[in-house]
Amino acid sequence: MARPLRIEYPGAYYHVMNRGNRREDIFLTNKDRQGFVDALADSCDTYSIKLITYVLMDNHFHLLVQTPQANLSEFMRHFLVTYTVRFNRRNGRTGHVFQGRFKSLLVDEDEYLLPLSRYIHLNPIRSKRFKDADIPTKTEYLKEYSWSTFAGYCYLRKRNKNIDYSWFLCTYFGEDTAKARRRCREYVYQAIDGEIENPFEAVVHQSIIGAQDFVDWVRQKLPRKAQREVPALNRLQHHISVERIIAEVAKAGNAKAADLRDRKTKLKDLRQMAIELSYRYSNYKQKEIGAIFGVDYSTVSQSRTRLKTKLNSSRKLKKQFHRIRAQIEKMAIPKI
């Protein structure tokens, strides 16, 4: 499988994450966690990186950063090596700490930076430990969690001097005041027990998280020569309408499009294929796809899961799905 495309330009925003080698813990003690934060601050200072949010978990981390100098790869290389050397020295170890190449997604600031920050800040309560915990327990844990930027956005006394909290608060909540910090806090808390859309569902070909106009803008920003030379860029698709996808699936299955929209249809397999391909190739979110098919957000997700199970158990069905998908991909991939 080809590596995901790494797109860099001045002022770009990224979600970055990496896991421990063999999914092992990357922190053994709080000294390691503090060492991580210190190494991160050093590298941000060296490469003029704006650090927006971070969260440290036992075996992985998430960052949201901006790169004014288009130097994400250099910054991350320096940071990961710095932390690895310090971690091994502190714990008497040798070898790799992280699982290969870090993962990054170019982020559409206007549409996804705010919800992505919330999704990242909720990580500490997404473990099995909190599966049956009540809202007050989860809320208190998030507030007191030391290895995240969330507390600093909510309380002045918990701020890290290396984070520009004011920029984020002023951009998304109007100002850096007690009222704005409360609104920021409530924005995250309201998602603790509510269903929120996963911003990672908007990822386009492992490289960009954003709306179609942002994807188009990125394509135009890069030189045509670079576009031709990077195969992954050629796969940045033009989104197709759900209606066209339904029509294409219906045609391939000798059915009518209306039959695939019908919740009571006997063509369950084709309907599930249409839902899955709409999720992959349209610009619609699961909630919007559900509205077209007459179901809610959770049913769309369940339908996709059921289809995956069927494809794994039926070679005939899998062959049919891949044939339909190949046809839709031809419609989706623009000529450069």
57-81 tens-digit pLDDT? 999 999 999 998 889 999 999 999 9
Q: Determine whether domain 242-332 maps to CATH 3.50.50.60.
A: no
Which segments of the chain belong to CATH 3.30.70.1290? 12-189
pLDDT-flagged residues of the chain (< 50)? 1-2, 225-235, 335-336
304 within 8 A of 276, measured Cβ to Cβ: yes
* pLDDT of res. 9: 83
The residues, any chain, with a CB within 8 Å of residue 126's CB and separated by 6 or more, are none
Q: Which CATH class is domain 12-189?
A: alpha beta
Three-state SS annotation for the chain: CCCCCCCCCCCEEEEEEEEEHHHCCCCCCHHHHHHHHHHHHHHHHHHCCEEEEEEECCCEEEEEEEECCCCHHHHHHHHHHHHHHHHHHHHCCCCCCECCCCEEEEECHHHHHHHHHHHHHCHHHCCHHHCCCCHHHHHHHHHHCCCECHHHHHCHHHCCCCCCHHHHHHHHHCCCCHHHHHHHHHHHHCCCCCCCCCHHHHEECCCEECCHHHHHHHHHHCCHHHHHHCHHHHCCCCCCCHHHHHHHHHHHCCCCHHHHHCCCCCCHHHHHHHHHHHHHHCCCCHHHHHHHHCCCHHHHHHHHHHHHHHHHHCHHHHHHHHHHHHHHHHHHCCCC
Which segments of the chain belong to CATH 1.10.1750.10? 242-332
Amino acid identity for residue 214 in this structure: F
* pLDDT of res. 205: 65
* pLDDT of res. 222: 65
